[in-house]
Amino acid sequence: MITIVHVVNQFFAGLGGEDKAGISVGVIEGSTGAARGLQLQLDEDAKIACTIYYGDNYFHEHKEDAITAILDAVRSARPHVLVAGPAFNSGRYGLSCVELCSAVADALAIPCVTAMHEENPGVGTYRDFANARVYCLPTAETTAGMTDALKRLAKFALRLARDEAVGSARREGYLPRGIRRLEQAERPGVERAIEMLLKKIKNEPFETELPMEVWDDAPPAPPLDQVRDRRLAVVTTSGVVPWGNPDRFKTYRNTHWQKYNIAEIKELEPGKWETVHGGYNVVYMNQNPHYGVPLDALRALETEGAIGPGKLYPAYYVIPGNQGSPAVMRRVGQEIAADLKKDGVEGVLFVAT
């Protein structure tokens, strides 16, 4: 018998509205509230072992505790699949559904499915997590779409429970997580391209196979006051390293970073440094590493007082950036940031090639 756990917020558990948004995690055996609707849709095909609920506010204010409690409850119930929501256009609820699903999927390797309106802020987080075990189905904006959402959640949950292969987002109707998988289409690329172009020329509808990505805004860090009094460091992806490449950087797809001493050095002598990078013409950088690590200019500015004495960090940081996976670069950025802050660095000169 397929077992399912359904996680809902206090409202959909039938325990109250905003007034009860602070209640902590609780477990009710069998199905209650919206879970009863889900059990109806599941019919004889599966049993909801328990309904887990939490207050919307409680979850976000005590996230670690909430998730721990939910994990414990799910662990005890040992379901084949977990269902959370549907959250429709409720932002707090949608976000918590995505977060708890991700936690359950990672900690317990249980597939999860949730549902919400495609403009729910939870969807952004869902795409960021890009967790291959967590699916989100689109719903209507309001609870008017409840029956439909539960019907589709039930169907999808059963498929996951049965370990059936799930196809692409477009084919199966779930919201894409941004995980792109390699597969064979029905026709060669050439044919698909000519067909797509002709549709575009004739103003007929077509669908791109590579949707465009939108990058998040990163709020700017506040500016430095009196930059000459600030500790500054150089970080570069140009691939300038000491001659001999002592730390074995590759010409592409590096996963580690290094910092190299420039403490007593006034300028980078050619012959003592080389450039490891497969993505650009390194001839210039090899002849003059200052194009990537402008030490001569920094020392000159130190002499003239634009940079304070001892304010230039005594090492520069490098990772050759060719074909670096964004996930790796993100981690490297976090690690370098931590290292810089540990040593009191306040601003960065980042040279990219």
Within 182-201, which residues bind another protein (CB under 8 A)?
182-194, 196-198, 200-201
87 binds another protein (CB under 8 A): no
- Who's near 126: CB < 8 A, 6+ residues apart? 98, 114, 134, 136, 175, 177
From the list 12-20, 22-30, 38-46, 235-243, the region that binds another protein by CB under 8 A is: 235-243
Q: What are phi and psi of 147, to 5 degrees?
A: -60, -45
Q: How far is the CB of 203 from another protein (least distance, A)?
A: 9
The SS3 assignment for 72 reads helix
| Of 62, 73, 61, 121, residue with least CA distance to 97 | 121
Contact positions with another protein (CB under 8 A) in 241-260: 245, 248-253
Q: Which of 77, 98, 282, 318 binds another protein (CB under 8 A)?
A: 282
How distant, in Å, are the alpha carbons of 223, 224, 246, 293 from that of 309?
A: 20, 17, 30, 19
213 binds another protein (CB under 8 A): yes
Q: Which of 147, 287, 314, 343 binds another protein (CB under 8 A)?
A: 287
What's the distance, CA 321 to chain centroid? 20
Q: How far is the CB of 278 from another protein (least distance, A)?
A: 6
Q: What are phi and psi of 26, to 5 degrees?
A: -135, 160
Closer residue to another protein, CB minimum distance, 108 or 206: 206
Q: How far is the CB of 201 from another protein (least distance, A)?
A: 5
How distant, in Å, are the alpha carbons of 76, 85, 164 from that of 49?
A: 10, 16, 21
Q: Which of 45, 106, 148, 346 binds another protein (CB under 8 A)?
A: 346
Cα gap 249→61, rounded to integer Å? 43
From the list 66-74, 143-151, 157-165, 180-188, the region that binds another protein by CB under 8 A is: 180-188
The structure tokens listed for 56 are 């919307």
Closer residue to another protein, CB minimum distance, 16 or 284: 284
Closer residue to another protein, CB minimum distance, 142 or 288: 288
From the list 35-43, 46-54, 103-111, 203-211, the region that binds another protein by CB under 8 A is: 203-211
136 binds another protein (CB under 8 A): no
Q: How far is the CB of 106 from another protein (least distance, A)?
A: 14
137 binds another protein (CB under 8 A): no
Angular region, 14: left φ>0, alpha ψ -120 to 50, beta rest: left
180 binds another protein (CB under 8 A): yes
Task: Count CB neighbours of 277 within 10 A.
Answer: 23
Alpha helical stretches, state H, 13-118: 34-42, 56-61, 63-77, 91-108
Q: What are phi and psi of 168, to 5 degrees?
A: -70, 160
Closer residue to another protein, CB minimum distance, 117 or 177: 177
Contact positions with another protein (CB under 8 A) in 57-76: none
The SS3 assignment for 323 reads coil
Q: Which of 78, 266, 272, 330 binds another protein (CB under 8 A)?
A: 330
Contact positions with another protein (CB under 8 A) in 26-55: none
From the list 36-44, 50-58, 96-104, 279-287, the region that binds another protein by CB under 8 A is: 279-287
Handedness of CA 307, 312, 318, 323 (dihedral sign): negative
Contact positions with another protein (CB under 8 A) in 111-130: 130
